[in-house]
C-alpha cells in the first residue's frame, strides 16, 4: 500500500474555464522502434482538398524544380528516396523506427531528416534544418492553399514547421507548426496536410519545411524524423474558415468527458460547448459555433475574426445541451458558420463521440482497439519518485467505485516490462485548503503480456464510496520500474495531472496548442465487482468495448490452467452464440466475440470455469 500523504495541488483548477494553461513539466519518452507488423498508422491532421482553387505550382521532388537544403544546427535535410542508407540502416535508419515513406510519388524521391542517428550515437545537439523551394511568382494572388504528403513520428521536443517568405527567403513571415496533435511515441503519421496562408500578391514567394529541436539531451532530445513529398499549391479563397479544436464542458469545474455514467447524469446539468477555429480567407468573418446532438440544435453568439486569425466561439451553459438521462450514444456535431456564405465547408465541422453509459466515466477516446491508443506515459522529466498519470472527475452524486480501468500501451520488448507493478490511485480536492489529498487506491497488479494494448480493470474487492466533489484518478507505477500507461485523444489543458513523487504535477501543453493536452486512459467504473474477485478459479471478468458495435473482447484472469466455455444469450434466455470449451493457461486471457450478426440490444454472457459460473451483461449498439 502507498503511504498516505497530503499533497499540495500543483495546478490551477479550471474554475470556470475549460481552457486553462499550465507551465509545468512534460512527460519523457524513450526512443522506441515502431510496431510495423501491426499496421497501425495515425491519421490526424488529414488534408482537405479544396475544390475550385486553380493549381499554381506543384513538385513531386523528381528534379523538376529546385529545392535547397540548409541548416543552423546539428544535421540537415537530405533529398533522397527509400533506398538511401539513412532510411534503410537497421541500426540508425528511419525505417526501423517510423517506417518507409509511402507518399504517392515516393519512388521519385522526397526530402527527409533523420534524427534517430543522433540518439543512437548518444550525442544530441540543438537542430534547425530546412528544405526550401525555388522562388515562386504569386502576382495577383492573395492567399494559397498548400498541400503536401508526409511521414512523421513524434518524439519529445521536435517541432515541424511550414513557413513562407514574401521576399525570396530573406525573411520568413509566416510560420505554422504542424503535427502538434500527433502523440509522442505513437504510431507514424502517413498522411496529407493542407495549410492556408497569405501571400499578398508577392512575385518572390518561397515555401520551406523546417525541423527544429532545441534540446541537447542525449536521451530525450532530437527526434525520429520527418519525410516530405508531393507539394501542391492552389489559389486560396476569400471566405474560408477551418475548425481546429472542439471542447465540451460539464459541471462546476467545466470538465470534458467522452463517457458519462448514468448514475451521475441526473444532477450534472447542461453541457456547454466551445471551439477554436482559424479564418483562412482574406476577408473578415462574423463566425459562430453551431452544435447539434439528437434533438438539440443551438448556435452561439458571433465573433468578428480578421483574416488569418485564430479565434474561439462558444455556446454557454445556459443554452447548452441537457445531460441525457438515458444510456446511449449522444454524439456532438460541431460546425463553424458565418454570416455570409463560405467558399469551402469541408473542414468546417467535426463529429465528436459522446456516450452516456450504465457505469463508466471516461475522458479519453479509447474505443477498444489498440489503434486508438496514441502513445504512452512512463514517467516525468526530472523524476523525483513514484510516477502517476491521470485525469480529474467531478462527482455529482454519492456513489461507489467498483473498478479503476487503466489503458496499457504497447512496447517494443514486452519481456522488459512483464512483472512490473501498477495500481489505481484516487485523490480528492479539499475545498477548504485547495489541496488534493490521498483518498484510496486499488490493489497492486503485476503487468502481463495480455495487458499490452488493452484496458485493464483494477477491480476492487470492496467498493470505494465517493460523495460530491472533485477527484483526481490516476494510474501509478513505482520508481525505476515504469509501466506504459496509454493515451488516447486530447483533453483541455489543466485536466491531465499526476504525481511526480510527492508532488501533484500537470502535463504541459505544446506551445503550439496551449489549450489541449493528451488524455490518459484512466476511467472510473461504478459497477460493483464484489465477489467476482473472490471466485475460486477466475477473476477480472469484463467485456470491452461495452457497449459494442460489431465485436467485443471478454477478458478474465485464470488462477490456474482450466477449461473455459462462454455462452451468449438474449434476455429471453435464448442462446445466440456459443464459444466452444477450450483449455486456457493461467493468467490474463481474452476471447473475441463477433457480434456483427446480432440485433441491437442487451445480452448476457455466461463464462464457465470449472465449478465457477459467472453471468454478466453486454450491449450491442
Q: Which range is least confidently modeled, 29-33, 153-157, 520-524?
A: 29-33
**In which residue ranges of the chain is CATH 2.60.40.1930 found?**
535-620
Residues 318-374: pLDDT tens digits? 999 999 999 999 999 999 999 999 998 989 999 999 999 999 999 999 998 877 888
The arithmetic mean of pLDDT across residues 305-327, rounded, is 95
User: In terms of pLDDT, which residue wins out, 547 or 135?
Assistant: 135
Q: Which residues of 406-420 are buried (b: 16+ CB within 10 A; e: fewer)?
A: bbbbbbeeeeebeeb
pLDDT at 610 over 80: no
pLDDT at 3 over 60: no
The cell numbers describing 499, all together, are 504525481
Q: CB count, 10 Å around CB of 601?
A: 11
Ramachandran area for residue 199 (φ above 0: left; ψ -120 to 50: alpha; else beta) = alpha
pLDDT of residue 224: 96
Q: Which CATH architecture has domain 535-620?
A: Sandwich (2.60)
The arithmetic mean of pLDDT across residues 185-210, rounded, is 93
Give the best-scoring range by mean pLDDT among 43-57, 309-323, 554-568, 590-604: 309-323
- The span from the CA of 109 to the CA of 111, in Å, is 7
- Mean pLDDT computed over every residue of the chain: 87
DSSP assignment letter at 214 = -
Confidence of residue 620 (pLDDT cuts 50, 70, 90): confident
Confidence of residue 401 (pLDDT cuts 50, 70, 90): very high
Does this model's pTM top 0.85? My answer is: no
User: In terms of pLDDT, which residue wins out, 547 or 226?
Assistant: 226
**In which residue ranges of the chain is CATH 2.60.120.200 found?**
51-235
pLDDT of residue 24: 32
**389: closest CA among 476, 480, 454?**
476
The arithmetic mean of pLDDT across residues 125-149, rounded, is 96
Instruction: Tell me which of 2.60.120, 1.20.1300, 3.30.1490, 1.25.40 is the CATH number of domain 359-525.
Output: 2.60.120
Percent of the chain with pLDDT over 90: 66
Residues 12-21: pLDDT tens digits? 333 222 222 2
pLDDT at 560 over 50: yes
pLDDT of residue 256: 97
- The span from the CA of 578 to the CA of 569, in Å, is 9
Q: If you write DSSP's letter for every residue of 378-424 in order, what string do you get?
A: --BTT--S-EEEEEEEEE-S-EEEEEEEEEE---S-GGGTTT-EEEE
pLDDT of residue 52: 53
Q: Which range is least confidently modeled, 159-163, 284-288, 367-371, 498-502?
A: 367-371
* Class level of CATH domain 51-235: mainly beta
pLDDT of residue 32: 54
Amino acid at each position: 500500500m502507498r503511504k498516505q500523504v497530503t499533497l499540495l495541488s500543483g495546478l490551477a483548477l479550471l474554475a470556470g474555464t475549460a481552457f486553462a494553461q499550465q507551465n509545468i513539466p512534460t512527460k519523457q519518452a524513450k526512443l522506441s522502434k515502431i510496431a510495423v507488423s501491426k499496421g497501425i498508422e495515425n491519421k490526424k491532421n488529414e488534408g482537405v482538398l479544396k475544390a475550385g482553387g486553380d493549381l499554381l505550382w506543384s513538385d513531386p521532388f523528381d528534379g523538376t524544380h529546385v529545392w535547397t537544403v540548409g541548416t543552423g544546427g546539428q544535421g540537415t535535410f537530405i533529398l533522397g528516396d527509400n533506398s538511401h542508407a539513412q532510411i534503410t540502416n537497421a541500426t540508425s535508419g528511419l525505417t526501423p523506427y517510423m517506417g518507409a515513406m509511402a507518399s504517392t510519388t515516393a519512388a521519385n524521391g522526397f526530402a527527409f531528416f533523420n534524427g534517430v542517428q543522433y540518439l543512437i550515437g548518444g550525442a544530441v545537439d540543438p537542430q534547425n534544418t530546412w528544405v526550401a523551394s525555388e522562388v515562386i511568382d504569386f502576382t495577383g494572388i492573395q492567399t494559397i492553399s498548400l498541400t503536401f504528403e508526409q511521414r512523421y513520428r513524434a518524439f519529445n521536443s521536435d517541432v515541424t514547421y511550414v513557413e513562407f517568405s514574401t521576399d525570396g527567403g530573406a525573411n520568413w513571415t509566416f510560420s505554422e507548426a504542424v503535427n502538434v496533435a500527433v502523440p509522442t511515441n505513437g504510431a507514424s503519421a502517413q498522411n496529407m496536410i493542407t495549410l492556408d496562408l497569405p501571400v499578398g500578391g508577392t512575385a518572390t514567394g518561397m515555401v520551406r519545411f523546417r525541423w527544429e529541436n532545441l534540446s541537447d539531451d542525449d536521451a530525450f532530445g532530437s527526434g525520429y524524423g520527418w519525410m516530405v513529398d508531393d507539394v501542391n499549391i492552389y489559389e486560396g479563397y476569400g471566405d474560408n474558415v477551418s475548425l481546429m479544436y472542439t471542447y465540451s464542458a460539464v459541471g462546476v469545474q467545466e470538465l470534458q468527458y467522452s463517457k458519462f455514467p448514468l448514475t451521475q447524469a441526473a444532477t450534472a446539468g447542461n453541457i456547454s460547448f466551445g471551439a477554436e477555429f482559424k479564418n483562412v480567407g482574406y476577408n473578415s468573418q462574423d463566425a459562430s459555433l453551431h452544435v447539434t446532438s439528437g434533438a438539440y440544435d443551438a448556435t452561439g453568439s458571433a465573433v468578428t475574426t480578421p483574416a488569418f486569425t485564430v479565434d474561439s466561439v462558444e455556446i454557454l451553459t445556459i443554452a447548452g445541451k441537457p445531460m441525457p438521462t438515458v444510456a446511449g450514444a449522444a454524439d456532438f456535431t460541431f460546425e463553424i458558420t458565418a454570416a455570409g456564405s463560405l467558399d469551402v465547408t469541408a473542414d468546417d465541422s467535426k463529429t465528436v463521440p459522446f456516450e452516456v453509459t450504465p457505469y463508466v466515466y471516461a475522458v479519453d477516446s479509447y474505443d477498444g482497439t489498440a489503434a486508438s491508443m496514441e502513445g504512452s506515459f512512463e514517467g516525468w522529466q526530472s523524476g523525483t519518485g513514484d510516477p502517476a498519470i491521470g485525469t480529474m472527475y467531478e462527482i455529482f452524486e454519492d456513489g461507489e467505485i467498483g473498478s479503476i480501468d487503466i489503458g496499457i500501451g504497447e512496447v517494443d520488448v514486452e519481456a522488459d516490462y512483464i512483472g512490473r507493478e501498477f495500481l489505481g490511485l484516487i485523490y480528492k480536492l479539499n475545498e477548504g485548503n485547495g489541496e488534493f489529498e490521498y483518498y484510496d487506491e486499488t490493489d497492486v497488479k503485476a503487468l502481463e503480456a495480455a495487458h499490452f494494448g488493452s484496458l485493464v480493470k483494477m477491480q476492487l474487492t470492496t467498493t470505494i464510496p465517493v460523495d460530491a466533489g472533485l477527484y483526481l484518478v490516476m494510474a501509478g507505477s513505482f520508481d525505476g520500474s515504469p509501466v506504459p500507461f496509454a493515451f488516447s485523444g486530447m483533453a483541455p489543458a489543466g485536466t491531465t495531472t499526476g504525481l511526480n513523487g510527492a508532488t501533484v504535477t500537470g502535463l504541459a501543453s505544446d506551445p503550439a496548442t496551449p489549450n489541449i493536452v493528451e488524455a490518459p486512459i484512466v476511467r472510473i467504473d461504478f459497477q460493483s465487482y464484489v465477489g467476482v474477485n473472490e471466485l475460486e478459479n477466475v477473476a477480472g471478468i469484463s467485456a470491452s468495448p461495452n457497449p459494442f458495435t460489431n465485436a467485443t473482447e471478454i477478458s478474465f484472469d485464470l488462477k490456474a490452467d482450466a477449461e473455459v466455455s462462454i455462452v451468449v444469450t438474449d434476455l429471453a434466455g435464448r442462446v445466440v452464440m456459443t464459444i466452444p470449451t477450450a483449455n486456457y493457461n493461467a493468467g490474463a486471457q481474452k476471447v473475441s466475440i463477433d457480434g456483427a450478426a446480432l440485433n441491437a440490444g442487451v445480452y448476457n454472457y455466461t463464462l464457465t470455469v470449472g465449478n465457477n459460473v459467472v453471468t454478466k451483461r453486454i450491449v450491442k449498439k
